[in-house]
Amino acid sequence: MRLLVKRSSERVKGQIAVPTSKYHAHRALILASLAPGTSRIVGLSNAQHIRHTITALRGLGTRIEVDGDDFLVHGGPYRPLRSHVSVGGAGTALYFPTGLASLASAPVTVVGQKSFPRRLIGPQLQALSDLGIDLDSPTGGPPISVRPRRPKGGHARIEGILSQWISGLLMVAPFATGPSAITVEGEFNERAYVDLTVRMMRRFGLRVDVSANGRRFDIEPGQCPTPATVVLPPDVGAAAFGLAATALHPADVLFRGLPALPADQLDHPEADLLDIVAGMGLPMTADPATGMVRVRHDGIRLRPARIDCRAVPDTLPALSVLGALADGTTVLDNVAHVRLKESDRVEAMLQLTRMGARIEQRGQRLLCHGVERLTGAELSSFNDHRVLMSLAVAGTAADGETRLTYPNAYRGSYPRFLEEMNGVGLNMSVEREREREREPERTPDRSGTRASAPALAAPAN
C-alpha cells in the first residue's frame, strides 16, 4: 500500500485546521495522572502518539475520559492493571513514563513496538538509576522492568542529546525521598522542549529551580502535584506541512487555530519555525476577521536559510523540502540528534535526491542546494509521520507521481493530514487494496510497523 501524490498546478485555497499540540498533550496528561483529583485538558488530540500515552497511563491504573472536546484525567497513585504496560510506538510515551512507573504499587515491565530497540534510552536509564530507581533492561531498551520504589534523589548527570531524557528525569524527581539535582552535560539540544516541561510541571504545582545557564535543575523532595485545567495550544509543528505546501504553490489559505502572533508569544517549542519560513519569503499576515495566520501570494521563489536544528529538530523534514526548492543553499546545522527520532530523518530526507534535489550531508550539516523542479519517485516513509508528510508535500511540487510507503504514518501526529491537504486542492490518496496486491512492498521499513491504538473514548480497563 502506498500514499500516491500527484503534482498540483492550481492555487491552493481554503482553510487548514491546525491540530492541538501533542507536546503539551503528552505532558499535561502525564502530570494530571499524578495529581490526586480531576484535571481537565481542553482540546482533544486524536493523534496515535497521544493515544499511546493514554494507553500507558490507563495500564498504570489512571482513569481518563473524554468529555466533549476535553480530556478528564482522574489522577492519583498508580495501581497497575497488568504487569506489562505498553507505550506503543511513541518515543515520548517511552521516555516520560518509564521512571514514573517506579511510583506504581506493583512491578511493571514497560514494553513497546518492535521498532523501539533502536530508540536510544540507555543514558536515561542510567540517570534514573542514579536517582535511586530500581530498574533493569537487558537490551538497553524495552522491555524495561521497573520495581516499585520511590527514587531516593541525588545528583544525576545526563547528556543533552535528547530533551526527552531530561524531561523524563524532571517529571519523576519531585516524588523522590530526598532532594534531586539534574545537570545537563555536553551539547544541549531542544532546550525549548525542556522549558515546556518545566512550565507544565509548574502548572500542576511542582517546584523546579533552574540555574542561570539553564543546565542544572534542583528539585525538592516529597512534592504532590495539584489538579489543573490546561488549554492545549495549536501545534506549530503540524502547521509546518501546510505552511510548506503554501510556500511551494500560489496560495490563499487561512490557518484556522494558529494565531498571527510573534513567535516569542506562542507557547510552543517549535514557534521559531514561523520566523524561519517568514525569513525564507513566505508572506504570512493576520487575517482581519479571525486574527489567524493567512498565506496569500501568486507564487514565490524561496530564499535560502541557515537553521540550527538543535532548536527545531522535528521541523528538519519539512525545512529540507523547502530548502530543496529555494533559490540558493539552505544549511541545516547540528543534525546529528535528528537521526535518533522515529527514523534516521537525515537519511530519510536524503531521498529527495531521487526526486532530482541536490541535498548532501556533511558531518553535522545537511546542505540543500535549491533546484528549479522535482520529479516524482518511489520513496520510503520509514513509517515516520514527519518524513511521510514532508515527502508528500514535496510530491505536490514534483512532475509525475510520488509513491510513499506506510501511507498511514501521518496518523501518529496529524490524523486529518490528508483531509486538510486535499481540502485546499492538493492531490493525495491511498492506493486501492487491489493495487497493493498487484505491486508488493519493495522498500523495507527499518523501524517496524505500528499497531493500531484503542479509541480515545474507550473506557479504562
In this structure, the number of other CB atoms found within 10 A of the CB of residue 102 comes to 24
314 flagged as catalytic: yes
- DSSP SS3 for 230: strand
Which residue is it, cell 506562542?
266
Using a 10 angstrom Cβ sphere, with 0-12 exposed, 13-18 middle and 19 or more buried, the burial of residue 277 is: buried
The H or E element that residue 144 is part of is strand 144-146
In this structure, the number of other CB atoms found within 10 A of the CB of residue 389 comes to 31
Dist CA 241 CA 178 (whole Å): 45
Binding residues for phosphoenolpyruvate: 22, 91, 119, 164, 345, 386
User: Active site residue: 70, 130, 314, 344, which one?
Assistant: 314
H helices of 188-315, where? 191-203, 236-248, 272-279
Using a 10 angstrom Cβ sphere, with 0-12 exposed, 13-18 middle and 19 or more buried, the burial of residue 431 is: middle
In degrees rounded to 5, what are phi and psi of residue 233?
-80, 175
Binding residues: 22, 27, 91, 119, 163-164, 314, 341, 345, 386
Dist CA 276 CA 24 (whole Å): 22
Dist CA 175 CA 34 (whole Å): 10
List active site positions: 314
